[in-house]
Amino acid sequence: MKKILVIDDDEIFVKLLADTLSKEKYAVISASDGEKGLEMMEKEKPDLITLDMVMPKMGGFKFLEALKKKGGVQNIPILISSQLSKMKDISEGVTLGMGVGVKGYIVKASENMDMIIKTIERTLGEK
């Protein structure tokens, strides 16, 4: 069973995504900020990470910077999932994530859960 780490402070989104992913036969773990996300990533070795960009303590931008300093996450693909929808924010997130595993950007407000799941499956090479 593939393991997905959801790093996001939006409890409702995390619960909805976790419930949906569990039905799709994925194991889901979560962290409410980037600091906890880094700890969970080291401990759990997920197959994929979804990363919100705006969170307390350590947001997604700082999380990606920390990964760059550590030398990346080997082969763990990262999907940015954020409410930030301006092209500048998307470009900054993807550019910052180059070399540390960012494979795509999901604007949460404009995607339904089915599309998010399809993006996750495609990123994992499962569909």
15-68 per-position pLDDT tens digit: 999 999 999 889 999 999 999 999 999 999 999 999 998 888 898 888 888 887
Host H or E run for residue 12: helix 11-23
**What pTM was estimated for this model as a whole?**
0.85
Q: Which domain holds residue 76?
A: 3-123
Total number of domains constituting the chain: 1
The tokens 């409702």 sit on which residue? 12
Classify residue 118 as exposed, middle or buried by CB count within 10 Å of its CB (0-12, 13-18, 19+): middle
DSSP codes of every residue in 32-87: SSHHHHHHHHHHH--SEEEE-SS-SSS-HHHHHHHHHHHT--TT--EEEEES--SH
Q: What is the CATH number of the domain that holds 40?
A: 3.40.50.2300
Q: What is the DSSP letter of 109?
A: G
